[in-house]
């Protein structure tokens, strides 16, 4: 029976549910429920995937939470699926059975590719479809807020536009065009604007690549600067936090939530942003200080805010953020359809099966 080590991550916990029949029933039911919104017959999907890879199912899958635990388990491993755990010469020296290192992502800096090649161990990257979906969602929010769509949806008559505070009036068509007869001010164009990316990890790079396609200038900030090759590939220039805040027309947050990032967008940060900047958070809510956010919106100190992650999930019915016309709120749906997740798992399992043989 193959032995697979899997880094303990909420998404990668699907792997033992697929491959290891000894996975506790409670975990199996929870994962099936997670996928059920788009994959109502999770069991049929799982059975089909297992049938396509009979050399890999059944397997013994161990979830690994630390580098020390990883090293302790490597002697019996036939394959590993990791995100941040390191694989170098020291790890390979104690992994005689290892056939494949599967990165759940595309950034291979934690894997010594050359050392693996010398041992004949396959290294596979996976461009996560879920990351692509999240980046698309960030841009959907930026575009919607730039064009003021949350305020304009269905307002195509004089009465509803006036109710929203606009002063619609047709132009003199004998001399001018009729575009924006609703007289909506302050709409933005992404082309030529500056995107400030807070974080240039794998989601940040997906965001940056789309920004370049829109003709935006991309700057980024994070504590540890990325290698020059990644900056060049992403078309992103590293700046300090203050420069990003002062110069960005759009700010997209894709940082992890931890002691160094929680509350980093506080009252001082809002004060340094452009008054018409648009802020989008597709990462974790605590990175933006809630009180400072509400104060900035009340004082009209920010152009628009898009949040897919929230301080409470589900939020309270009387959540005050719902009261601002320039705020776009979605219920943690940036990952989009669960088919993104199943496709990621199919690719990952297929790579493991092909290498283990």
Run means of pLDDT, 10 residues per run, the chain, 357 residues? 97 98 98 97 98 98 98 98 98 98 97 97 98 98 98 97 97 96 97 98 97 98 96 97 98 95 97 98 97 98 98 97 97 96 98 96
Known active-site residue 312: no
Q: What pTM value is reported for the model? A: 0.94
Tell me the torsion sign for CA atoms 295, 194, 137, 351: negative
> Three-state SS for 4?
strand
Beta-sheet pairing, 278-281 with 250-253: parallel
Asked whether the beta carbons of 313 and 339 are under 8 A apart, the reply is: no
Written out in words, the top-level CATH class of the domain with range 131-148+186-329 is alpha beta
Closest CA to 129 of 24, 60, 38: 38
Q: What is the pLDDT of residue 249?
A: 98
Which one of 284, 290, 310, 347 is the catalytic residue?
A: 284
Residues facing residue 123 across a β-bridge: 101
Closest CA to 326 of 96, 170, 148: 148
Domains 3-126 and 131-148+186-329 share a fold: yes
Q: Provide the 8-state DSSP code for 318.
A: T
Asked whether the beta carbons of 108 and 32 are under 8 A apart, the reply is: no
Q: What is the pLDDT of residue 284?
A: 96
Asked whether the beta carbons of 83 and 9 are under 8 A apart, the reply is: yes
Known active-site residue 284: yes
Which one of 109, 119, 183, 332 is the catalytic residue?
A: 332
Known active-site residue 148: no
Give the pair of three-digit tokens for residue 20: 């290891």
Give the pair of three-digit tokens for residue 171: 């132009």
Which one of 223, 313, 338, 347 is the catalytic residue?
A: 313
Superfamily of domain 3-126: NAD(P)-binding Rossmann-like Domain (3.40.50.720)
Give the pair of three-digit tokens for residue 19: 């491959």
Domain ranges (residues) in the chain: 3-126, 131-148+186-329
- As a whole number of angstroms, the distance between CA 115 and CA 73 comes to 19
> Which residues have C-beta within 8 Å of that of residue 122, sequence separation ≥ 6?
99, 100, 101, 116, 351, 355
Cβ burial, residue 161 (10 Å; 0-12/13-18/19+): buried
């Amino acid at each position: 029976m193959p032995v697979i080590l899997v880094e303990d991550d909420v998404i990668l916990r699907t792997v033992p549910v697929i491959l290891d029949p000894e996975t506790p029933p409670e975990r199996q039911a929870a994962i099936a429920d997670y996928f059920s919104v788009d994959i109502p017959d999770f069991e049929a999907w799982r059975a089909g995937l297992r049938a396509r890879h009979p050399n890999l199912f059944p397997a013994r899958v161990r979830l690994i939470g630390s580098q020390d635990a990883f090293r302790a388990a490597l002697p019996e491993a036939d394959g590993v699926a990791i995100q941040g755990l390191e694989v170098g010469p020291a790890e390979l020296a104690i992994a005689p059975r290892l056939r494949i290192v599967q990165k759940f992502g595309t950034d291979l800096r934690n894997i010594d590719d050359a050392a693996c090649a010398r041992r004949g161990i396959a290294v596979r990257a996976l461009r996560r479809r879920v990351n692509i979906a999240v980046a698309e969602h960030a841009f959907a929010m930026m575009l919607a807020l730039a064009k003021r769509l949350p305020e304009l949806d269905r307002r195509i008559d004089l009465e509803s536009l006036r109710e929203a505070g606009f002063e619609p009036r047709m132009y003199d068509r004998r001399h001018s065009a009729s575009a924006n007869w609703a007289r909506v001010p302050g709409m933005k164009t992404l082309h030529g604007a500056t995107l400030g990316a807070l974080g240039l990890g794998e989601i940040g790079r997906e965001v940056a690549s789309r920004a370049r396609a829109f003709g935006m200038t991309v700057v980024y900030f994070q504590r540890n600067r990325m290698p020059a090759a990644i900056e060049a590939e992403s078309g992103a220039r590293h700046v300090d936090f203050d420069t990003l805040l002062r110069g960005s027309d759009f700010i997209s947050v894709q940082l992890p939530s931890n002691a160094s990032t929680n509350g980093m967008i506080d009252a001082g940060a809002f004060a340094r942003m452009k008054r018409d900047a648009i802020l989008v958070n597709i990462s974790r809510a605590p990175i933006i200080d809630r009180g400072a956010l509400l104060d900035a919106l009340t004082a009209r100190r920010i152009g628009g805010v898009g949040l897919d992650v929230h301080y409470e999930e589900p939020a309270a019915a009387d959540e005050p953020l719902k009261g601002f016309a320039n705020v776009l709120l979605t219920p943690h749906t940036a990952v989009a359809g669960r088919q993104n997740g199943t496709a990621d798992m199919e690719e990952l399992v297929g790579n493991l099966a092909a290498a283990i043989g």
